[in-house]
């Protein structure tokens, strides 16, 4: 096991750790530790909401979640010698839920201690990809069995997770941060009262910036970019293939690179469609770090990281696939090559299909967020209809979900957790 360079006590808030982590992107947040290129390290991580969600059968905690504190990240980790323009090479050696010692119970209170959850946020507190169809909060608890997961809230499925960190990234330079804030505010200004909002501006309330306090903390709160979207520093990619064996090449924007991350997912489908759609957990990630000096220019990397995906994801050879096009079918309104809308329709088509087997729409939605489904951009040139497809592995179901002349095997499939 590599040295633990960032420790988390899962019984405490991220604010109360020895090294407290942070929840905004800002170059002034000081490194928690400095390591050499070539190091192998372990980073412990807190679940992204800092433990607000419980192992219970009500979605009230999801409905009432305080999103100003998200994502709770571990880091920053400085890499000796890293300079702006370099590529930071990050190998994901291993990762998983919270490791348990000899005396630990099989299941603890924090997400990652034997369980995780998938949530659908309420429309007026977070929202999600299909929030107009699913405006209320709901939740599914998942039990971990080695690398497999089952849920009492979605019976009849069992699958191996493609475990990955939702979020890792380097610190932005002050200049890059200013550009982010400028362009995102410009977007917000196009519809400032929208619910859910178009983007999240810096927000001092809830800000955590490592050991910073006073005016230094205030400045990070005023300027620091929220961690929700992916940007030029990496960030919240939610790419499920950042799994064991993956190698990611991050752009370096500040001296030392300042790598931070967390938001571990036991499993997730492409798109993480419920917003909190992965199986969320705390845990650990083992990394190997290295540098390609000047790599950004050498390889023409100007915006986002490049990566080699992991090679131990669960193998599936049979999928039932759903298609969507960029038409709003409710009003029969045609949009122009809109892949987001096309993927949305593919998801809605999958949900409608799964309903014929007895699942509620909420169960189906939660499942598509959490299971290892693949989302493909199939066509983006056949005007006016973009075409996206969703690949659902048939082996995750305990029954045959393929269409046949006999019709679907309808059954009582229970219910997920909803809010009161």
> Which residues, numbered 16-75, are part of the site for a copy of itself (CB under 8 A)?
40
Q: Which of 84, 85, 135, 197 lies at the binding interface for a copy of itself (CB under 8 A)?
A: 197
- Give residues 147-176 in contact with a copy of itself (rule: CB under 8 A): 147-148, 160
The reply on whether position 272 binds a copy of itself by CB under 8 A is yes
275 binds a copy of itself (CB under 8 A): yes
Peptide bond into 196 cis (omega under 30): yes
Residue 119 sits in the site that holds a copy of itself (CB under 8 A): no
Q: Which of residues 325-384 bind a copy of itself (CB under 8 A)?
A: 325, 327, 329, 332-340, 342-346, 349, 352-353, 355-356, 374-384
User: HSE on the CB side for 90, CA within 13 Å?
Assistant: 35
Residue number, 192 or 403, with CB nearest to a copy of itself: 403
> Counting contacts by CB under 8 A, is residue 85 touching a copy of itself?
no
| Interface region with a copy of itself, contact rule CB under 8 A, candidates 72-80, 190-198, 211-219, 253-261 | 190-198
Nearer to a copy of itself, 212 or 310 (CB): 310
Closest by CA to 140, choosing from 116, 123, 160, 159, is 116
Please give the residues from 209 up to 228 whose contact with a copy of itself meets the rule CB under 8 A. Answer: 228
Determine which residue in the list 12, 94, 135, 152 makes contact with a copy of itself, applying CB under 8 A: 94
Strand bridging mode 259-265 / 230-231: unpaired
Whole-number minimum distance, CB 406 to a copy of itself, in Å? 9
CB closer to a copy of itself, 78 vs 291: 291
Our CB check for a copy of itself shows the closer of 26 and 42 to be: 42
* Rg, the chain, Cα only: 21
Q: What's the CA dihedral at 376, 155, 147, 111 to 10 degrees?
A: 100
Task: Find tokens 């993480």 and name the residue.
Answer: 272
Residue 198 or 411 having the CB closest to a copy of itself: 198
Q: Does 250 bind a copy of itself (CB under 8 A)?
A: no
State the nearest-atom distance from the C-beta of 168 to a copy of itself, in Å: 13
Q: Using CA atoms, how far apart are residues 376 and 175, in angstroms rounded to an integer? A: 34
State in angstroms the smallest separation of the CB of 321 from a copy of itself.
5
Shortest separation between residue 213's beta carbon and a copy of itself, angstroms:
28
Q: How far apart are CA 212 and CA 26, in angstroms?
A: 12
Q: Give the separation between CA 156 and CA 394, rounded to whole angstroms.
A: 12
Say how many CA atoms lie within 13 Å of 296 toward its Cβ. Answer: 17
- The residues, any chain, with a CB within 8 Å of residue 195's CB and separated by 6 or more, are 123, 124, 127
State residue 152 phi and psi, 5-degree precision.
-70, -15
């Amino acid at each position: 096991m590599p040295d633990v360079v960032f420790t988390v006590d899962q019984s405490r808030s991220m604010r109360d750790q020895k090294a407290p982590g942070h929840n905004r992107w800002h170059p002034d947040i000081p490194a928690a530790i400095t390591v050499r290129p070539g190091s192998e390290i372990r980073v412990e991580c807190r679940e992204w909401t800092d433990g607000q969600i419980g192992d219970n059968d009500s979605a009230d905690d999801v409905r009432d979640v305080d999103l100003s504190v998200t994502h709770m990240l571990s880091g920053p980790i400085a890499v000796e010698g890293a300079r702006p323009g370099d590529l930071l090479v990050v190998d994901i050696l291993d990762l998983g839920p919270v490791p348990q010692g000899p005396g630990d119970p099989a299941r603890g209170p924090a997400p990652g201690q034997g369980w995780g959850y998938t949530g659908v946020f309420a429309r007026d507190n977070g929202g999600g990809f299909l929030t107009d169809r699913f405006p209320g909060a709901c939740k599914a608890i998942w039990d971990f069995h080695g690398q497999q997961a089952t849920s009492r809230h979605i019976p009849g499925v069992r699958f191996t997770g493609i475990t990955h960190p939702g979020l890792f990234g380097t610190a932005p330079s002050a200049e890059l941060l200013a550009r982010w804030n400028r362009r995102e505010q410009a977007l917000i200004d196009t519809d400032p009262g929208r619910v859910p909002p178009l983007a999240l501006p810096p927000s001092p309330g809830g800000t955590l910036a490592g050991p910073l306090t006073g005016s230094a903390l205030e400045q990070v709160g005023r300027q620091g970019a929220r961690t929700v979207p992916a940007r030029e520093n990496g960030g919240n990619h939610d790419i499920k293939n950042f799994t064991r064996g993956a190698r990611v090449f991050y752009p370096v924007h500040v001296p030392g690179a300042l790598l931070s991350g967390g938001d571990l997912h036991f499993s997730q489908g492409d798109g993480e469609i419920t917003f909190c759609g992965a199986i969320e957990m705390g845990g650990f990630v083992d990394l190997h770090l290295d540098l390609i000096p000047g790599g950004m220019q050498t390889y023409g990397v100007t915006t986002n990281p490049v990566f080699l995906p992991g090679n131990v994801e669960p193998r599936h050879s049979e999928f039932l696939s759903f298609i969507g096009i960029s038409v709003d079918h409710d009003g029969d309104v045609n949009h122009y090559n809109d892949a987001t809308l096309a993927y949305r329709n593919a998801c809605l088509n999958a949900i409608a299909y799964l309903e014929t087997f007895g699942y509620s729409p909420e169960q189906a939605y939660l499942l598509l967020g959490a299971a290892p489904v693949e989302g493909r951009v199939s066509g983006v040139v056949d005007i006016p209809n973009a075409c996206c497809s969703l690949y659902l592995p048939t082996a995750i179901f305990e029954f045959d979900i393929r269409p046949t002349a006999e019709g679907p095997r309808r059954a009582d499939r229970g219910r997920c957790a909803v809010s009161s």
